[in-house]
Amino acid sequence: MRPNIQIHRVNLHIDDQIVLSVKDLSGKLIPLKPGEPPSVGEKYTFVIAVESADIVVTAQNLTLLLNRYAPTPNHR
Amino acid sequence: MKNVQVSIDGRQTKQKGVLHKGVDVPFEMVGTVSAAPEGKIRMHPSKFRVGHLPVKGLLDFFGVQTDDLVNGKHMHGVRVDHEDLILDPVLPAPESRGKLTGVNILSDGLEESFGSTGASAPAARGNHIAYRGGTIRFGKLIMTNSDMKLIDSNPRDAFDFSLDHYKEQIVAGYNRTTPAWGLEVFMPDYYQLQKAKAQPHPPASGTESAKGSGKR
């Protein structure tokens, strides 16, 4: 059974600069390593399967996201 | 693309930046955003400039070939649909997967909706992150049939929570066990910890001003 996660009214710092304003989120945690439970706060140990969410991203944070994590060309 | 700057222009988004195509060329794109049926972000440009050169369309702008688009090999997380860009609403870790169902432009940002949103259940009130069911790890603890809630000890504003510094928040807070063996962890906002760090430290014990200060 996968753990349920519920977030309500949280400013989530995903790194030292980028903040997402999560008004509400419901979902499940899917461990990235089979057989190992997701570790709270260790963001590389799980994926969030979002069932419903309402998230606000400011223009400033969108700028940071696009510069740091923008889609990149595949180099074949 | 580099040096991208996003701003909100009325009901549209504006992106400025530099496109590297042999030489650096500035570009500006203004357009609307919406949720595409497949759960991705659709950006429809209404104004599009690349340096002083006319641009026929997004295909020319990105310098991609149709067969690349059909094969989906050229770009990761983005594709072109006629004159629109279709973007994955992908965020950095923790990776999240969900179907985007709505995008609203706010005065200073975007509001993204996934799945069916609505009022949270009565038990979900208060600023928090809650875990229920399944097994989770929390520091050295492993909790089966999990029942844990990270709770904002200052609910007047949103719960400021840092994924990279959550341990500091936990150490600065306290916890209690519920009658059902659940765990409630109360913690200060991350910005409060940063503010406290930035303040000058009190004099070390033994100095004149610290003498007799007694209990905190």
User: Do the domain assignments include residue B153?
Assistant: yes
- Based on the fold, state whether residues B189 and B169 are members of the same structural domain: yes
Range of the domain at B141: 123-198
What is the predicted pLDDT for the residue at B49? 78
Compute the nearest-CA separation of B208 from chain A (Å): 38
Same domain, B83 and B22: yes
Interface predicted TM-score (ipTM) of this complex, two decimals: 0.90
- Regarding whether B135 and B54 lie in a shared domain, the answer is no
Using the CB atoms, write b or e for B132-165: b if 16+ within 10 Å.
ebbbbbbeeeebeebbbbbbbbeeeebbbbbbee
**Same domain? B9 vs B108:** yes
Domain contains B183: yes
Domain count, chain B: 2
Set of chain A residues whose Cβ sits within 8 Å of the Cβ of B114: 25, 50-55
Single residue among B68, B94, B113 that ends a domain in this structure: B113
Tell me which of B113, B148, B172 is where a domain ends.
B113
Q: With respect to residue B216, please indicate whether it lies within any of the assigned structural domains.
A: no
Identify the residue among B2, B4, B105, B168 best suited for mutation to test binding to A, counting A beta carbons within 10 A and taking the highest. Answer: B4
Give pLDDT tens digits for A2-51.
999 999 999 999 888 899 999 999 999 999 998 899 998 788 899 999 99
- B163/B185 same-domain check: yes
Is B163 inside any structural domain? yes
What single DSSP character describes residue A60? H
What pLDDT shows up at residue B70?
34
Q: CA–CA separation, B12 vs B41, rounded Å?
A: 14
Report whether B93 contacts A44 (CB < 8 A).
Answer: yes
Pairing of strands B159-162, A4-13: parallel
- As averages over each run of 10 residues, the pLDDT of chain B (216 residues) reads 84 83 78 87 82 60 46 56 75 78 92 74 76 94 96 95 94 96 96 89 58 40
Q: What is the pLDDT of residue A48?
A: 92
Structural domain boundaries of chain A? 4-69
- The number of angstroms, rounded, from the C-alpha of B135 to the middle of its chain's C-alpha atoms is 25
User: Is B205 among the domain residues?
Assistant: no
In this structure, the answer to whether residues B71 and B148 fall within a common structural domain is: no
Same domain, B7 and B99: yes
Q: How many CB pairs under 8 A join A and B?
A: 210
Which pLDDT does position B210 carry in this prediction? 43
Contacting residues of B for A64, CB less than 8 Å apart:
none
Residues 125-184 of B with CB under 8 A from A: 125-138, 142, 146, 148, 150, 152, 158-167
Whether B8 is in a domain gets the answer yes
Residue of B nearest to A15 (CA): B164
* Domain co-membership, B83 together with B178: no
Tell me if chain A has a CB within 8 Å of the CB of B120: yes
Distance from CA of A26 to the nearest CA of B (A): 9
Q: Among B63, B86, B113, which residue terminates a domain?
A: B113
Report the gap between the CA of A38 and the closest CA in chain B (Å).
5
Of B1, B95, B127, the CB nearest to A9: B127
> Do the Cβ atoms of B142 and A21 come within 8 Å?
no
Structure confidence at residue B213 (pLDDT): 41
Same domain, B55 and B156: no
Shortest alpha-carbon distance between residue A42 and chain B (Å): 7
CB spacing of B132 vs A20 below 8 angstroms: no
Domain assignment of residue B203, yes or no: no
B151 and B101 in a common domain: no
> Which of 94-113 (B) contact A at CB < 8 A?
94-98, 106, 108-113
Please state the separation of Cα B90 from the chain's center in Å: 10
Q: What is the pLDDT of residue B211?
A: 43
Rounded to whole angstroms, how far apart are CA atoms A47 and B29? 32
Residues B89 and B145 in one domain: no
**What is the pLDDT at residue B90?**
59
* B:61-80 residues touching chain A, CB 8 A cutoff: 73-78
